A and B are shown apart, each in its own frame.
Chain A
Amino acid sequence: MKSKFPMHIHLAITLVWMVIALYMIFLYAPEELTMGEVQRIFYVHFSLAMTALFAYAFVFIGSIGYLWKRSRAADDFAYACAEVGFIFCTGVLITGPLWAKPAWGIWWTWDARLTSTFILWLLYISYLMLRAYVASPGRTESLAAVVGALGFVTSIVDYMAIRWWRTQHPQPVIGGGPGSGLEPSMWATVFVTWGAFLCLFFYLVRMRRGIARVRREVVRMRQELASP
């Protein structure tokens, strides 16, 4: 399942898109009234968070795809999304406190959304740790797929449980009810930035998948050499 789209063009698009996003974040989007310049980190924070969330959905899709069709490509996809998603989720946990300190006056609070992001981060860790520590090599894919699927169930439960818990974090920006709106130019910046991050995400995932394929090929060749 090798994609036809050339990698270097994908990289070029990502870079150009990133520059446009940076321009929009710093020069195009208006300054927020109460928080001032600090608010501009929101565009990065939101894009990282949404991408990290989607990435776990991709891990789930890849996991189910592996359990269903036993396709190596689906497992590679899940693994790549988990690794890159973990990096993005770490980014969320770094940009969040940087913004929270000036906006709320604290680095961290155990409110529902922060807690569930932290849990998402732990889910990524447990998925990646499991892949590293499975003792019998042939079992890694299906065990990881089971853990990936249960992790996704957790993120759905997260979504329900957030509503049952008190929260300090702003309501969802998209469809958060009246009063949660953004300036149109801010909306544009949000979507351009998120698009740039998604583009970067898929570039990294494709690269990671390529590495997984090469690694499997090396293992296969080594086995062939060892047993003529």
Chain B
Amino acid sequence: MKAAWTIFVKDLRVEWRSREAALSMCVFGILVVFLFNFSFTGGREETLRMLPGLLWIAFAFAGILGFNRSFAAERENSCLEALTLAPIDPSAIFVGKLLANLVFLGVAEGVMVFVAALWYNFSFVPSLGSFATIVFFGTLGYAALGTIFGAVAANTRMREVMLPVLQFPVAFWILVLASDASSDALRGAEWTVVRGGIERVAAVSLVFTVAAFLLFEYVLEE
């Protein structure tokens, strides 16, 4: 656990000094939200129908950027081999990387939600609690998959192409369920409906997180 924390703090420090992953994710996310603006014709009803799906697509694309960097950065100077050789549990590397990816994607998501609220004149405040819970669980599962697939893709040629090809079919249901649940939450549906949505997202995300955690050691071994 201590090793996981060390890797997490190391990734944050690298990020703080280079400002590559989180910053590029934020800028990219803002661009996606901005471009989607032009497929809207306006009106609160239309915004409500489109916004949750739009946000999750933006989260998904921004996430891909970050996950690609997460392990690609370790390939420079053979840092990945050093990490693999270190006398720590491989799952500690997974947890550390996952935490870092969660923080980066979380920051980017915060920025995207903020600009979306601003540009689409949409207040997230009334359902912020349930929306944030959905985003947390959805992001957890999505980032867990991104972490393991990022490590897999780092071993391939054309890894920028490989990561989305691996990630999207598997993460599909997380995105669909999260966007359905977000839609219910933002619409101000009854609590029982919203809770059902949260439970589904959480269940699917936890299944994938556990599966990724268990399989990760086979990705690193030589």
Contacts and interface: CB of A to CB of B under 8 A. Distances in A.
Asked if A pairs with B, the answer is: yes
17 contacts: A119-B169, A126-B166, A129-B165, A130-B162, A134-B155, A136-B155, A142-B218, A143-B155, A150-B170, A151-B169, A153-B170, A154-B172, A157-B208, A158-B173, A161-B173, A161-B176, A161-B200
Nearest to A142: B218
A139 B169 CA distance: 22
B207 to A, nearest CB: 6
Contacts of A93: none
B25 interface: no
Contact of A150 (B172, B200, B211): B211
A135 B166 contact: no
A5 B173 CA distance: 42
A79 to B, nearest CB: 16
B220 to A, nearest CB: 10
Contacts of A161: 173, 176-177, 200, 204
Interface string B145-182: 10010001001111000100110111011001100000
A122 interface: yes
Interface string B175-207: 011000000000000000000000010011001
B1 interface: no
Interface of B: 145, 148, 152, 155-158, 162, 165-166, 168-170, 172-173, 176-177, 200, 203-204, 207-208, 211-212, 215, 218-219, 221-222
Contacts of A146: 148, 152, 215, 218-219
Contacts, number: 81
A80 to B, nearest CB: 21
Contacts of B203: 160
B173 A143 contact: no
Interface in A105-151: 119, 122-123, 125-126, 129-130, 133-136, 138-139, 142-143, 145-147, 149-151
The B interface, classified by DSSP as helix, strand, loop or mixed, is: helix
B148 A154 contact: no
A154 B155 contact: no
Closest 9 A-B residue pairs measured CB to CB? A122-B169, A133-B156, A153-B211, A154-B170, A146-B215, A161-B173, A126-B165, A142-B218, A126-B166
Measured as residues with beta carbon below 8 angstroms from the partner, the interface class of chain A is 20 to 34
B204 A143 contact: no
Contact of B156 (A67, A130, A154): A130
Contacts of B215: 146, 149-150
Contacts of A151: 169-170
Contacts of B156: 130, 133-135
A157 B173 contact: yes
Given A119-B172, A142-B219, A150 B148 contact: yes
A157 B207 contact: yes
Contacts of A153: 170, 207-208, 211
A132 to B, nearest CB: 9
Contacts of A150: 145, 148, 170, 208, 211-212, 215
A153 to B, nearest CB: 5
A160 B168 CA distance: 18
Contacts of B177: 161, 164
Contacts of A126: 165-166, 169-170
Contacts of B169: 119, 122-123, 125-126, 151, 154
A133 B207 CA distance: 28
A123 B152 contact: no
Contacts of A157: 173, 204, 207-208
A12 B204 CA distance: 45
